[in-house]
């Protein structure tokens, strides 16, 4: 995937990095969010659809059209299919999937940049419990549907939000910035019917990059795959699933798909793995 001239300027030149430091300030991000949620921003919608060749079939369009750009960006689909086969793990979103083995006392690579799992989770003890496991990394492009769901049935045992500077998750950014260390992210630790636990994490991105997760009532900790977990407002975004050692068996059919740079195209709700017996 080719990066835009703007991203190359921001991340690969000294003047660009100076501009970037201004762009990621909270006040700038907040102002951008206000504009993208205003009526004035709705004029951007037709251009965005044309530029990214977005298929609008099956999309719920409000009477009178979308009220703002963010209303369009967080659009809903009228009908979807979810594989609800018992023990099946589904893709939580549309996007491009990378499968990574989590090595013991090492780091794993995401788009040519290495990250410590402890830094990603901000919890080294929790990271150690996932050594030898699998990481499913989903990259959402501008054309993708930006709502995501739970990937497996289970019970939420812990939730955490990690604040950070918002940076783009496009490949050019990953070459120069420790993106997962600096981006805001949220995750839940979920106990499933299979062995061990799964972590489902969302990562925001440049400018707004807002993560909008649905709050769980204190008395309700059970979650079902296919239930909407939340959505991203404007900005490139990433979803990550982490499984403990021997917890899942990957759907081998995924490897037969055409992709690029070891990324596999997936759709929200389709089977990507199966939980092993506990």
Residue 168 has pLDDT above 50, yes or no: yes
Q: Find the Cα–Cα–Cα–Cα dihedral 142, 216, 196, 186, rounded to 10°.
A: 40
The per-residue pLDDT for 56 is 92
Q: Would you give the DSSP letter of residue 132?
A: T
Note the pLDDT tens digit of each residue in 215-262. 888 777 899 999 999 999 886 688 999 999 999 999 988 888 776 667
Check: CB of residue 60 under 8 Å from CB of residue 77.
yes
Q: What confidence tier does 110 reach under pLDDT thresholds 50, 70, 90?
A: very low
Percent of the chain with pLDDT over 70: 79
The per-residue pLDDT for 112 is 40
Q: What confidence tier does 167 reach under pLDDT thresholds 50, 70, 90?
A: low
Q: What confidence tier does 111 reach under pLDDT thresholds 50, 70, 90?
A: very low
Q: Which positions are annotated as active-site residues? A: 94, 237
Among 174, 235, 264, 236, smallest CA distance to 28 is for 235
Residue 276 has pLDDT above 70, yes or no: yes
């Amino acid at each position: 995937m080719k990066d835009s001239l703007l991203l190359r300027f921001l991340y690969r030149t000294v003047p660009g990095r100076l501009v970037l430091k201004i762009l990621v300030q909270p006040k700038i991000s907040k102002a951008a969010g206000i504009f993208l949620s205003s009526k004035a921003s709705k004029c951007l919608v037709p251009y965005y659809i044309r530029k990214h060749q977005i298929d609008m079939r099956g999309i719920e369009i409000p009477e009178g059209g979308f009220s703002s750009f963010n209303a369009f960006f967080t659009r809903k689909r009228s009908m979807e299919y979810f594989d609800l086969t018992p023990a099946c793990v589904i893709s939580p979103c549309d996007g491009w999937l990378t499968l990574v083995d989590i090595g013991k006392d090492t780091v794993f690579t995401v788009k040519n940049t290495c990250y410590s799992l402890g830094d990603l989770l901000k919890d080294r003890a929790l990271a150690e419990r996932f050594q030898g496991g699998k990481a499913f990394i989903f990259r959402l492009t501008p054309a993708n549907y930006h709502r995501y769901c739970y990937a497996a049935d289970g019970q939420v045992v812990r939730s955490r939000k990690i604040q950070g500077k918002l940076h783009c998750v496009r490949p050019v950014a990953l070459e120069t910035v420790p993106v997962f260390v600096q981006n805001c992210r949220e995750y839940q630790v979920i106990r499933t019917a299979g062995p061990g636990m799964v972590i489902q994490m969302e990562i925001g991105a440049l400018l707004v990059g807002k993560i909008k997760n649905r709050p769980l009532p204190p008395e309700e900790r059970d979650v079902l795959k296919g239930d909407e977990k939340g959505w991203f407002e404007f900005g490139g975004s990433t979803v990550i699933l982490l499984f403990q050692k021997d917890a899942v068996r990957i759907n081998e059919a995924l490897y037969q798909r055409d992709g690029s740079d070891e990324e596999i195209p997936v759709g929200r709700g389709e089977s990507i793995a199966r939980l092993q017996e506990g």
